[in-house]
Amino acid sequence: MRELLTRSAGELASEVAKGAVGAEELTRASLDAIASRDGRLGAFLTVQADAALAAARAVDDKRRRGERLGPLAGVPIGIKDAILVEGAPATAASRVLTRRGGADPNEGFCAPYEATSVARLRAADAVLVGKTNMDELAMGSSTENSGFFPTKNPHDEARIPGGSSGGSAVAVAANMTTLSLGSDTGGSIRQPASLCGVVGVKPTYGRVSRYGLIAFASSLDQIGVFSRDTRGAALALGVIAGHDPADATSVARDVPGWARSCEESVAGLRVGVPSEYFADGVEPAVRARVEAAIAALGEEGATVVPVSLPATRFAVATYYILATAEASSNLSRFDGVRFGLRVEKPGDSLETMYERTRGAGFGAEVKRRIVLGTFVLSSGYYDAYYLRAQRARTVIRRDFDRVFEAVDVLATPTSPTVAFKLGERTADPLSMYLADVCTLPASLAGLPAISVPCGAAEPPGGGPPLPVGLQLIAPAWQEARLFTAAAAVERSLS
């Protein structure tokens, strides 16, 4: 039955609605796949088997009563552990959100309410099977920074799956779930989607509610979707998108029928290819696969246009000032007083208790980013770093505005490399940060972007070919263009 999970989400939901396959049957297939594969891969932190089976039976009962089923009926979904599921542990892969700072995520902070995106999945009759692994508090590009254990790439278990939403990418790539939710701050959906060979979409900032997402950098974080194909991603994003009064950054915009966009032609679509994204550092084999995918769009009727985005060179420095500053502010809530870990000794002052708790609960990368963020916000440095970075962010956004007067979408590599080996970059934070060099600019500009598989490339030094992703970027609120172009790539390369 495991082959069921290789099918598209829309196809599965249709089969459940017709009674050709049961939601419980699908859910058991998902749970069996997790049980047999995840011990090696580490994609899941917690699995809610009983709750998932109960939800699946409710979907089957609903069908038997003749009631209309939702668009994701019976589809098994994994949820990144930074997104709250009521009654389930929520650690964001950090020991600071466990009761005793231990190694068991099942002892994590229990979410007292549900993220809006999760509530909308339930309303669409999806089945939530578990919480997926991630870099601690979404800070990382490899899922090696998890406070519990690393996640491994199913194409080569000696390599990273990308991050920070690595567990969600692997859950789909390894056929353990059909869809999964992740969050993307600087590339945390698109980069692991590329390295694991699945579709990953980050919507326009404000398109999907952040209510119930454990915050990293509030002006950048967005919840998005992993799927086996573009149509499944379009369907799932359509379910979770839309205005939410519980999130002040959620924007009231109509949600189009994006699944229909997957059937449209790219004839006449203007595809911009920015030279800055093909500079030194992009592996030649990755460049070749991406250029072939862009050429395929041209063969489908799109017009390929060389363009330039000169402000791209500011993106890495700008991001790591703004994101760390916001992280420093957001993470002050993890103090040992309100929830999660509390470390103290008799006679400790409140300040000492804070220090012990945060020292024991946070990992090295989170501490590094808190220190950086606190520094750039400190007296005497605020203008020199934080304000200057905000100005650079505006320049980057205006760069995109200018280019989108001439083209409809942009096409770039998602990652400059294929998946690198576990441990290869852990001692070199800068080289790890550069893994997101292609995804950061769209995040800073708040633009929608998608990664779609475009073949495989041999890693430097040899070895089996590994997945490569094509990144497509569109103007704000134009997700439809992404799905049209991504689906065309899928058709041309299939």
C-alpha span between 445 and 129 (Å, rounded): 33
Q: One of 8, 30, 80, 146 is an active-site residue; which one? A: 80
Q: Given this model, what pLDDT does residue 1 score?
A: 59
Which DSSP category does 136 fall into? G
Q: Clarify whether 494 is annotated catalytic.
A: no
Q: Clarify whether 80 is annotated catalytic.
A: yes
What is the SS3 assignment for 133? coil
Reported confidence tier of residue 100, pLDDT bands at 50, 70, 90: confident
Token digits of residue 118: 């999760």
β-strand pairing of 466-473 with 449-457: antiparallel
What is the SS3 assignment for 337? coil
Q: SS3 string of 390-443?
A: HHHHHHHHHHHHHHCCCCCEEEEECCCCCCCECCCCCCCHHHHHHHHCCCHHHH
Reported confidence tier of residue 482, pLDDT bands at 50, 70, 90: very high
Question: Which residue bears the tokens 């808190």?
Answer: 370
Q: pLDDT digits over 322-348, tens only?
A: 999 999 999 999 999 988 899 999 999
CA distances from 317 to 50, 321, 372, 409 (A): 45, 6, 12, 25
Q: Clarify whether 451 is annotated catalytic.
A: no
Q: Given this model, what pLDDT does residue 288 score?
A: 98
Q: pLDDT digits over 51-96, tens only?
A: 999 999 999 999 999 999 999 999 999 999 999 999 999 999 999 9
Which DSSP category does 207 fall into? S
Instruction: Kindly list the structural domains of the chain, giving each domain's residue range(s) and its CATH number in brackets, ordered by start.
Output: 2-261 (3.90.1300.10)
Q: What backbone phi and psi angles, to 5 degrees, belong to 55?
A: -65, -40
β-strand pairing of 270-274 with 409-413: parallel
Where in 5-145 does DSSP place strands (E)? 44-47, 76-80, 127-132
Q: pLDDT digits over 434-455, tens only?
A: 999 999 999 999 999 999 999 9
pLDDT for residue 379 is more than 90: no
Q: Given this model, what pLDDT does residue 338 score?
A: 85
C-alpha span between 229 and 345 (Å, rounded): 52
Q: pLDDT digits over 140-156, tens only?
A: 999 999 999 999 999 99
Q: pLDDT digits over 184-209, tens only?
A: 999 999 999 999 999 999 999 999 99
Q: One of 164, 165, 183, 250 is an active-site residue; which one? A: 164
Q: What distance, in Å, lies between the first and last C-alpha atoms of the chain?
A: 24
Q: Given this model, what pLDDT does residue 236 score?
A: 98
The answer to whether 132 and 165 have CB atoms below 8 angstroms apart is yes
Reported confidence tier of residue 2, pLDDT bands at 50, 70, 90: low
Q: Given this model, what pLDDT does residue 4 score?
A: 86
Q: Given this model, what pLDDT does residue 3 score?
A: 81
Q: One of 142, 180, 183, 188 is an active-site residue; which one? A: 188
| Percentage of the chain lying above the pLDDT 90 cut | 95
